[in-house]
Amino acid sequence: MSAEFRIGQAVPRHQVGWGDTVLKHASRAALALAAFACFWLFVLPVIVVALSSVSTQWSGTILPAGYSLRWFERLGSPEYDALLTSLEIGFGVSAIGTILGLWLALALEGRDRRGLGAVVDALVMVPNGVPSVVLGLAVLIAYHQKPLDLSSSAAIVVLVQLALILPFCYRCAAAALRPELTVLREAAASLGAPPAMVLRRVLLPQLVP
């Protein structure tokens, strides 16, 4: 027996294909499995680390036997001065690398890649082709004697790390300098905006992710 249905008329439940029902249940099962896997791989380890940081003893039980802030108190001890120094150097190198990379990208923008621009571009990328251990030893040997003896200062660490990250900062800044951004800069300059204002109001907002 055949049946005719008009547009907008509901289809009876018993006439809905069983394949759609199976597909719906399979999609829900796959979503639940993916959520469980994400929780097990990403969320649960973070919870374990967070509980371990405030626990006194945790072995063989589901939850810690006691809680304490002793690990956070020890962060203020002189033993962790090296960690603070590493963070300071890391943030400093990141800031300097970002500024230098942006400056190089602006300086080489629009230049002929077959001339001076190509030479500077190749020199900036040289540290990427040298193993980091070799680069570190070369800098240590070069700056281990007077008049530029930096072997006992943090400046040599900054120098090596800056040489390693500068190619990445330069490439990212060069890729962000799109043609339409150049048009905006030129338009702002033609309207009388000084270079500092062009950098602050036009360039930097467009480079922010």
What's the confidence (pLDDT) of residue 17?
Answer: 57
Q: Which has more pLDDT, 207 or 93?
A: 93
pLDDT tens-digit series, residues 113-139: 667 777 887 888 888 888 888 887 787
% residues pLDDT > 90 (the chain): 4
3-state secondary structure 90-136: HHHHHHHHHHHHHHHHHHHCCCCCCCHHHHHHHHHHHHHHCCHHHHH
pLDDT tens-digit series, residues 95-108: 999 899 888 888 87
What's the confidence (pLDDT) of residue 102?
Answer: 86
Q: Which has more pLDDT, 7 or 53?
A: 53
What's the confidence (pLDDT) of residue 93?
Answer: 92
pTM of the complete model = 0.56
Compute CA distances 117 → 6, 13, 109, 165, whole Å: 70, 71, 9, 20
The two structure tokens encoding residue 140: 């240590």
Residue 94 has pLDDT above 80, yes or no: yes
What's the confidence (pLDDT) of residue 31?
Answer: 87
What's the confidence (pLDDT) of residue 110?
Answer: 62
pLDDT tens-digit series, residues 148-204: 777 777 888 888 889 889 988 888 888 777 766 777 777 888 888 887 887 778 777
Q: Cα–Cα distance between 200 and 171 in angstroms, integer?
A: 21
Q: 66: helix, coil or strand?
A: strand
Under a CB-based contact definition with an 8 Å cutoff, are residues 78 and 150 in contact?
Answer: no
Largest CA distance in the chain: 101
What's the confidence (pLDDT) of residue 125?
Answer: 85
Domain residue ranges in the chain: 78-177, 178-208
Paired sense of beta strands 55-57 and 66-67, if any: antiparallel
What's the confidence (pLDDT) of residue 2?
Answer: 47
What's the confidence (pLDDT) of residue 49?
Answer: 84
Q: Cα–Cα distance between 98 and 171 in angstroms, integer?
A: 11
Residue 21 has pLDDT above 50, yes or no: yes
Residue 5 has pLDDT above 50, yes or no: no
- What does the chain come to in residues? 209
DSSP-assigned letter for residue 55: E
Stated as kind and residue range, the H or E segment containing 160 is helix 155-176
What's the confidence (pLDDT) of residue 95?
Answer: 92
What's the confidence (pLDDT) of residue 91?
Answer: 93
What's the confidence (pLDDT) of residue 1?
Answer: 45
